[in-house]
Amino acid sequence: MKSALELWPAAKPLMLPYEGGASQIHIFDLPHQLLQQALDTFSEHVHEPKISTLNGYTFEDSIGFSDENRSKLAIQDTPHHVIAGQWRGKFDMSLWLIMDKQSNKFDAELVFWADQLFPQPKDEGACIDVFSSLILFVEGLRSINPEGECALTMSEVADPRDERDEWHTLFW
C-alpha cells in the first residue's frame, strides 16, 4: 500500500487543473459478499447518503439509505447503482457500484470534483492534507480486499484498466 505522500507527486497534475470535470478513484474487484461492509464504510465518511440510481434506474429524487433500500443494492442482475452524499459535510461525492455477476465481485468508483475538494493549488500543504484524508477513505474501502487495485483518473474513463499506461491514470 502506498501512502498519500508517495502518491501525491503523480496525483497532483490529475487533481489540480480545476478543469471542472469529475475525478474518479476506482477500487477494483471487491468481493460481492462484502458489499454491505463497503456501504458501511461509505456511510461513515459521507453525510446523509442517498441512493440516486438503483438497478440502473435513476430517480428524479434520491431515495433514503435505509436498511431496506441498502439490501436492494445487493442485486447483481444490474449494471450499477449510485449513492450520493457530502464528504466532510460539504463536498459532493458519489459512489458508483459496478456489479459483475460472473465474477461475484464489484468495482467501487468514487466520483468527486477536485475544484470543490481542494483549496487553492498554491497551498500545497492544505492540498496534501485533503488528499491524505481522501486516500485514507479509499483505503478503508479497499481494506475489504487489500490485494485489489486502485486507480485515480482525472476524466470519465469507462474502465481505467484499459488505459493503464495513459498519462491521465494513476494505479496503486
Range of the domain at 17: 4-171
pLDDT at 62: 94
- Band (pLDDT 50/70/90 cuts) for residue 121 is confident
pTM score, whole prediction? 0.90
Q: Around 146, how many Cα atoms within 13 Å sit in the side-chain half-sphere?
A: 2
- Residues of the chain with pLDDT > 70, as a percent, come to 98
In this predicted structure, the answer to whether residue 7 has a pLDDT above a threshold of 90 is yes
- Band (pLDDT 50/70/90 cuts) for residue 157 is low
Please give the Cα distance from 23 to 15 (Å, whole number): 7
pLDDT at 89: 81
In this predicted structure, the answer to whether residue 76 has a pLDDT above a threshold of 70 is no
The dihedral built from the CA positions of residue 141, 133, 161 and 94, taken in this order, carries a sign that is: positive
Please give the Cα distance from 84 to 65 (Å, whole number): 10
Evaluate whether 35 touches 74 at the Cβ level (below 8 Å). Answer: yes
Please give the Cα distance from 124 to 122 (Å, whole number): 6
pLDDT at 119: 79
* One-letter amino acid of 94: S
- Band (pLDDT 50/70/90 cuts) for residue 165 is confident
pLDDT (tens digit, 9 = 90+) per residue, 78-89? 778 999 999 988
Give the helix, strand, coil percentages of the chain, each rounded to 5. Answer: 35, 35, 30
Q: What is the mean pLDDT of residues 21-34?
A: 92
- The alpha-carbon radius of gyration of the chain (Å, integer) is 15
Q: What is the mean pLDDT of residues 19-36?
A: 90
- Band (pLDDT 50/70/90 cuts) for residue 43 is very high
- Please tell me the total count of domains within the chain: 1
Evaluate whether 49 touches 144 at the Cβ level (below 8 Å). Answer: no
